[in-house]
């Protein structure tokens, strides 16, 4: 991260998520985009952007393996905010992926499956922008504990904003309930982190919040975030 961005990151660290979003919009305008998986943090950001900067586009990575509840949440959000979210698809259909790499790749090599269905599509969409917004929070996992509200994304070569980085789980849900934001009902069924249906299970009390992702594998991230 260059010196100028370090100064900005230091200045925005104590600011509210709304202040970070306003600064990002003023600085990057049409070169700014929000990535959404329609999880709790992302619906908060969608609501904030609707209030502050409704022209900022929102995209989602459609792996073709999401829960039906995730697609239904997408539809409710689009209706609520009068928005049309950008669908980003993998270059391979599920049938083409199975023909090339074997059936049910997610069970044999989840890293390769995520690379094909998430990372490569993300690389394509982010190449069109100079900055992106994510719902990363530090308390979500050890791999996210050092996330800054503004940082340089070395993997995708653009500026990355994490406006909710210092928010707690309770703050996220207080916002959702206070503003009556549509959210994925799976969150009420012990799914704190929701990915593809084939790679996500319920998390029982006492387990790590991300224990439900790729259960049985030494994997807690899909490769979108370092």
Taking a C-beta distance cutoff of 8 angstroms, is the pair 7, 144 a contact?
no
| Residues in the chain, overall count | 226
**Catalytic option among 113, 114, 199, 222:** 222
Q: What are phi and psi of 200, to 5 degrees?
A: -130, 135
Three-state DSSP class for residue 60: strand
Name the helix (H) or strand (E) containing 159. strand 158-161
> How many Cβ atoms from other residues are within 10 Å of residue 194's Cβ?
21
How many CB atoms sit inside 10 A of residue 19's CB?
Answer: 14
Annotated catalytic residue 222: yes
Is residue 33 within 8 Å of residue 133, measured between CB atoms? Answer: yes
Query: What is residue 110's DSSP assignment?
Result: H
Query: Which residues participate in catalysis according to the annotation?
Result: 222
């Amino acid at each position: 991260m260059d010196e100028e961005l370090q100064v900005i990151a230091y200045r925005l660290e104590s600011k509210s998520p709304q202040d970070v979003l306003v600064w990002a919009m003023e600085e990057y305008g049409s070169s700014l985009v929000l990535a959404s998986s329609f999880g709790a943090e992302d619906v908060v950001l969608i609501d904030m952007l609707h209030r502050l900067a409704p022209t900022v586009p929102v995209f989602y990575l459609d792996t073709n393996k999401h829960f039906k509840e995730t697609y239904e949440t997408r539809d409710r959000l689009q209706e609520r905010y009068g928005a049309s979210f950008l669908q980003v698809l993998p270059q391979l259909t599920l049938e083409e992926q199975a023909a090339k790499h074997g059936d049910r790749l997610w069970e044999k090599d989840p890293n390769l499956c995520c690379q094909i269905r998430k990372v490569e599509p993300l690389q394509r969409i982010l190449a069109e922008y100079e900055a992106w917004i994510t719902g990363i929070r530090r308390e979500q996992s050890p791999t996210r504990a050092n996330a800054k509200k503004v940082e340089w994304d070395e993997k995708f070569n653009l500026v990355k904003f994490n406006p909710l980085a210092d928010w707690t789980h309770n703050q996220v849900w207080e916002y959702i309930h206070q503003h009556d934001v549509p959210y994925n009902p799976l969150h009420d069924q012990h799914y704190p982190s929701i990915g593809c249906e084939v790679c996500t299970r319920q998390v029982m009390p006492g387990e790590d919040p991300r224990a439900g992702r790729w259960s049985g594998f030494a994997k807690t991230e899909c490769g979108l975030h370092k």
